[in-house]
C-alpha cells in the first residue's frame, strides 16, 4: 500500500495495518499452510509405510519378516530427532552423489574429503541458480520423507498389534465357511482391525501435529521460525521497531495448535464410534451365521 512506503510517518491503526501486511508477515501466514501440508501429505504416506511394515512383520518369508522387524524396532528405538536430522542429510547427499557420477564423470577426486562433502556445481540439488521456491519445496520434500519414515514405523507397530488383536474365532469361522485367506483378510480381518487400531492411530496423529515444529530444525521456514523471528525485539534499524513480542506470536501458535488438536479429537471420536458400530454389527452377523 502507498501509505506503507514510509513507516516512520505512521501511527495507530495505520501502523498496525502496514506492520501486519509486510512480506515477512505474509510468509508467517503462509507458514501455517506449510504445517498443514506436512500433516496431510505425510498421513497417507505414513499409513502406506505402516501397512507395509505391519504386513512385512506377518509375512511367511523370513527376509521380509526380518526387514519389517528391523524397520519398526530400529526407528522406535532411536530418538526421533536423530532420524529427522539424519534422513534429509543422507538423502540429499545420496542424490547429489549420484548426480555427481552422472554429470561430472571427469572429476576423479573423492566426494568425501575428510569432514567435507564436495560435488561439482552441476550436481548440486537443487542448482544454486534456481528460484528460492524450488529450494524450499526440495527441503520440504526431504522433511516429509523423514517424518514419513519415523511415523511409518510407529504406525506399523500399531497396525501389527491391531491385526493380532482381532479374535481368532472370527477368522476361523470365516475359513470354516470356505473363504480363502485373501477373502478372510479383506472381508473380516482388515475391517475388524480398525476398532483396535484407531486409538493408537489417533495418538500418533496428535504426536505428528506436535512434532511439526521440528521443521525449523530441518531448515524449513515454518510457523515457529517466523514467530521467533518476527516477535524478537526490533531496533530503529528496522522499518517497524518494537519490543520483544514473541509471547504474542507464540500465543497465536498456541491457539492454532489447540484448535487443530481439538478438531482432530472430535473427528477421531466420531470415527471411533462409527467403526465400533460397524464392528458390533459384523460380529452380530457372524454369530447369527454360526448359530443358524
**Model confidence, pTM:** 0.81
2-291: CATH topology is MetI-like fold (1.10.3720)
Q: C-alpha 197: how far from its chain's center?
A: 19
pLDDT at 7: 65
- Map grid coordinates 547429489 to a residue: 96
Cell readout for 20 is 501486519
Cβ-Cβ contacts under 8 Å for 188 (sequence gap 6 or more): 166, 170, 171, 174, 179, 282
SS3 letters across the chain: CHHHCCHHHCCHHHHHHHHCCCHHHHHHHHHHHHHHHHHHHHHHHHHHHHHHHHHHHCCCCHHHHHHHHHHHHHHHHCCHHHHHHHHHHHHHHHHHHHHHHHHCCCCCCCCEECCEECCCHHHCCCCCCCCHHHHHHHHHHHHHHHHHHHHHHHHHHHHHHHHHHCCHHHHHHHHHCCCCHHHHHHHHHHHHHHHHHHHHHHHHHHHHHHHHHHHHHHCCCCHHHHHHHHHCCECCCCCCCECCCHHHHHHHHHHHHHHHHHHHHHHHHHHHHHHHHHHHHHHHHHHHHHHC
Q: Does residue 197 contact residue 64 with C-beta atoms inside 8 Å?
A: no
- As a whole number of angstroms, the longest Cα–Cα distance in the chain is 86
pLDDT at 224: 85
pLDDT under 70 in the chain at which residues? 1-10, 236-238, 279-280, 282-292
Cell readout for 11 is 501511527
Q: Where are the domains of the chain?
A: 2-291
Is-cis flag, bond preceding 126, omega within 30? yes
Rounded Cα distance, 193 and 48, in Å: 16
- Map grid coordinates 540429499 to a residue: 92
pLDDT at 256: 93
Amino acid at each position: 500500500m502507498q501509505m506503507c512506503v514510509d513507516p516512520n510517518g505512521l501511527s495507530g491503526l495505520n501502523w498496525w495495518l502496514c506492520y501486519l501486511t509486510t512480506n515477512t508477515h505474509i510468509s508467517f501466514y503462509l507458514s501455517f499452510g506449510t504445517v498443514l501440508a506436512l500433516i496431510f501429505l505425510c498421513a497417507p504416506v505414513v499409513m502406506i509405510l505402516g501397512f507395509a511394515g505391519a504386513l512385512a512383520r506377518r509375512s511367511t518369508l523370513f527376509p521380509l519378516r526380518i526387514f519389517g522387524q528391523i524397520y519398526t524396532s530400529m526407528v522406535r528405538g532411536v530418538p526421533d530427532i536423530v532420524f529427522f536430522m539424519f534422513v534429509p542429510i543422507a538423502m540429499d547427499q545420496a542424490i547429489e552423489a549420484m548426480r555427481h557420477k552422472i554429470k561430472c564423470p571427469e572429476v576423479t577426486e573423492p566426494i568425501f574429503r575428510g569432514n567435507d562433502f564436495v560435488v561439482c556445481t552441476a550436481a548440486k540439488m537443487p542448482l544454486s541458480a534456481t528460484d528460492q521456491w524450488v529450494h524450499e519445496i526440495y527441503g520440504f520434500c526431504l522433511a516429509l520423507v523423514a517424518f514419513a519414515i519415523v511415523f511409518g514405523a510407529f504406525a506399523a507397530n500399531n497396525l501389527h498389534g491391531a491385526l493380532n488383536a482381532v479374535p481368532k474365532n472370527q477368522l476361523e469361522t470365516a475359513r470354516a465357511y470356505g473363504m480363502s485367506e485373501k477373502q478372510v483378510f479383506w472381508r473380516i480381518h482388515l475391517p475388524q482391525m480398525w476398532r483396535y487400531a484407531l486409538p493408537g492411530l489417533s495418538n500418533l496423529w496428535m504426536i505428528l501435529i506436535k512434532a511439526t515444529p521440528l521443521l525449523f530444525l530441518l531448515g524449513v521456514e515454518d510457523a515457529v521460525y517466523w514467530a521467533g523471528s518476527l516477535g524478537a525485539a526490533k531496533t530503529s534499524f528496522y522499518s517497524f521497531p518494537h519490543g520483544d513480542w514473541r509471547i504474542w506470536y507464540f500465543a497465536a501458535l498456541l491457539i492454532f495448535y489447540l484448535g487443530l488438536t481439538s478438531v482432530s479429537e472430535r473427528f477421531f471420536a466420531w470415527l471411533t464410534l462409527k467403526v465400533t458400530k460397524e464392528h458390533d454389527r459384523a460380529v452380530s452377523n457372524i454369530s447369527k451365521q454360526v448359530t443358524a
